[in-house]
Amino acid sequence: MACVQIPDEKCQIREPAEIRAFLKKYGIVFEQWDVEGRIGPDATNEEILDAYAPEIERLKAAHGFVTADVINVNPETPGLDQMLAKFDKEHLHTEDEVRFTVKGSGVFHINPESDTVFSITVESGDLISVPKGTHHWFNLCTDKTIRCIRLFEDMSGWTPHYMEDPAHENYAPLCMGPSYLNGDQGGPDVEEIVKF
């Protein structure tokens, strides 16, 4: 389940309706789609796109997206560190960044022009759409696993444009992942993991 953290205010938001309302102020769309029972754990990319075709078509019609694909990242992905290094620095895109998380988790850090930095941890079932021009950066959780549906207006619009004085340098990445948060790794209580 998604979580919004505002490190400078040392608070977090966990209720989906509150997350949706908070993110709406910044033009960020947040939705939750069913995953359990909808696709199998070993579903192919094509099966995932077919299973979510109604939602994909709705977003295409509403926002002008022309294509969708599935990205599948795990610790064995060749060149993973280089791939992640492209997006773990503050940047923006010239089109909306839309991601529906099928499996795994990650964290989007948002740096609004007129407010404090906050982060959105996304997990299986969470859809997020970060508007074009929004300053942000992304980190995977410690298990380095995520599988997402991505929607594009134009593949070239997804190129990161980096900031000259990036905020990411002032915020340590924090996304321990569900197993850590649930105590499976002997980690701290979830209420203690608000610090960046």
Largest CA distance in the chain: 46
In the CATH scheme, what is the code of domain 3-186? 2.60.120.10
**Does residue 196 have a pLDDT over 80?**
no
- 3-state secondary structure at position 27: coil
**Does residue 117 have a pLDDT over 80?**
yes
Could you count the other beta carbons within 10 Å of the beta carbon of residue 104?
A: 21
Cα 151 from Cα 68, distance rounded (Å): 4
pLDDT tens sequence across 63-86: 999 999 999 999 999 999 999 999
Grade residue 195 by pLDDT with cuts at 50, 70 and 90. Answer: very low
Predicted TM-score of the model (pTM): 0.86
Q: SS3 helix, strand, coil % of the chain, rounded to 5? A: 25, 30, 45
pLDDT tens sequence across 80-105: 999 999 999 999 999 999 999 999 99
**For the chain, which residues make up each domain, given as ranges?**
3-186
Cα first-last separation, the chain? 19
Both tokens of residue 166? Answer: 């990036």
pLDDT tens sequence across 134-179: 999 999 998 999 999 999 998 666 789 999 999 998 887 666 544 4
